[in-house]
Chain A
């Protein structure tokens, strides 16, 4: 188990660094209403094409949502209020990025579990399982001396 400590700690550091980098590289809070509208539109799924965001899609429904976002921003509603407005009508499906934090944790948990299983296999699982049976019996002192004697006889 102690041998696992180092890779797990290293992985933790890598994840932490990635999170910090993600936070630092994150686009700054949008300044103008138009930018904010664009950012919101990019977070919403186009209802009648599915694979595109509202910002990218040219369908009627996407255009209607863009107008609605602009109208609500102009009315002074916050980004999260507008997001909730669409979730109340279309369900969380409308959000391109799932809001449930569990969904983001699952891949990391699966990776950790996989690494754990791999570590277990490297350490205990493999050696305790099949390897020892295949290893030859330890060489005893009598045999060792005989090998040395014969080798010396060959040299001489």
Chain B
């Protein structure tokens, strides 16, 4: 049986290659980057008190594209992405709505963060218990959701935004450069 002889040599690569490939690709992956089940779904309702003492409801966002940015004063990467958000708000004023979700933080600390790094004066909904973030499937700040004019979540970015991601995903929700 010569075929059996050859099969035995084939069996080794047949086993090793797929298992090695699985380990190689699987272990290198960041589990936080699993696509959000919210993509293509309507944005869950976000409502609550804001940093300015107003109340906010995401129902008011319908009709214009929006960025939902989950942040906290204790979150260091949030500092690096903050100038990008300020830029985007300035550049697309009137067509893009920004909303912050202040994740597990105190009002004082959040206000101090904005005083120090710049206040774009968009609504910042307070989420001291993490309840709102839970509805968004947030694993930790910063996370940013790109929502189109119909209120559908188009993209979720985990970690600090970059200008490339911001430009690309804003274009995808109908905000031109």
Residues on A close to B: CB < 8 A? Answer: 47-48, 50, 60-61, 63-65, 67-68, 87-91, 93, 117, 124-125, 128-130
Contacts and interface: CB of A to CB of B under 8 A. Distances in A.
Overall SS of chain A's interface: helix
Given A89-B136, A91-B35, A64 B130 contact: yes
A125 B4 contact: yes
A61 B1 contact: no
Interface string B112-154: 0000000000000000011101111111100000000000000
A82 to B, nearest CB: 12
16 contacts: A48-B139, A50-B32, A61-B130, A63-B130, A64-B104, A64-B133, A65-B134, A67-B129, A68-B134, A89-B38, A89-B44, A89-B137, A90-B37, A91-B34, A91-B36, A128-B1
A89 B35 contact: no
A61 B4 contact: no
Interface in B9-51: 11, 31-32, 34-38, 44
User: For this complex, into which size category does the number of interface residues on chain B fall?
Assistant: 20 to 34
A91 B177 CA distance: 33
B4 A89 contact: no
A64 B129 contact: yes
Contact of A93 (B5, B34, B104): B34
A152 to B, nearest CB: 42
B76 to A, nearest CB: 15
Contacts of B129: 63-64, 67
Pick from A47, A87, A125 the residue with the most CB of B within 10 Å: A47
